[in-house]
Amino acid sequence: MHRAAVMLSGEFELRAGVFGTDQARGRAFAERIGVAAGRSYADLEEMLAGESRRAPGERIEVVSVLTPNHLHFPMVDRLLDAGLHVFCEKPLSLSVVEALALERKAVTRGCQVGVAHTYTGYPMVRQMRALIAGGAIGAVQKIDVQYYQGLDQSRDARRGTARRGVASRSRTLRAQLLHRRYRRTCFRSG
């Protein structure tokens, strides 16, 4: 979904990345989507090293972080250290303390950080808000929000929620859909 949105925007070009934990599959995927040979990396450090050797106009400038939640903070932190702009899938971090540290670092480094709240822009979500705000369905007493993603619940039970943090079980998504203040909230740096 993120790759398609980037391509539709016409503002960005997908040039490089780490496309999974299985290096062979990641490289095959990169080739399928048109990433040049040698620009599919095994991990973040390899990507930063490889891209730093390229000419300034050929290097990556913005990185999209689409990893499991517990990896967002360390990856965004490292990318900011490298002077790169970052667009991170929610949540930015697993705590407010970490998020504030990233904000300070982004300002210090002159980098911009954006956080994706993808589903809040979906037409059905906007329609739901309009129906509620306009009173079309009466006074709402309770809203039950479910987010079906086909996740293996047994795998989640084995891993626990520490890796997902406060955004586990779609709590962040529910809050965004229901609370007015999220519609006006923005994290901006730089």
Q: Provide DSSP, the chain.
A: -HHHHHHHHSS-----B---SSHHHHHHHHHHTTPPTT-B-SSHHHHHHHHHTS-TTTS--EEEE-S-GGGHHHHHHHHHHTT-EEEEESPS-SSHHHHHHHHHHHHHHT--EEEE-GGGGSHHHHHHHHHHHTTTT---------------HHHHHHH-STTTGGGGGGHHHHHHHH-GGGGG------
Per-residue pLDDT tens digits for 36-85? 989 999 999 999 999 999 999 999 999 999 999 999 999 999 999 999 99
Instruction: Read off the pLDDT of each residue in 170-190 and give the average, rounded to a whole number.
Output: 48
- Which sequence spans correspond to the domains of the chain? 2-118, 119-184
The predicted structure's pLDDT at residue 117: 79
Per-residue pLDDT tens digits for 111-170? 999 998 777 777 887 888 889 889 999 988 887 777 666 655 555 555 555 555 545 545
Residue 4, pLDDT above cutoff 70: yes
Per-residue pLDDT tens digits for 18-31? 999 999 999 999 99
Residue 185, pLDDT above cutoff 50: no
The predicted structure's pLDDT at residue 159: 54
pLDDT-derived band of residue 186, with 50, 70 and 90 as boundaries?
Answer: very low
Q: What is the pTM of this model?
A: 0.72
Architecture of domain 2-118: 3-Layer(aba) Sandwich (3.40)
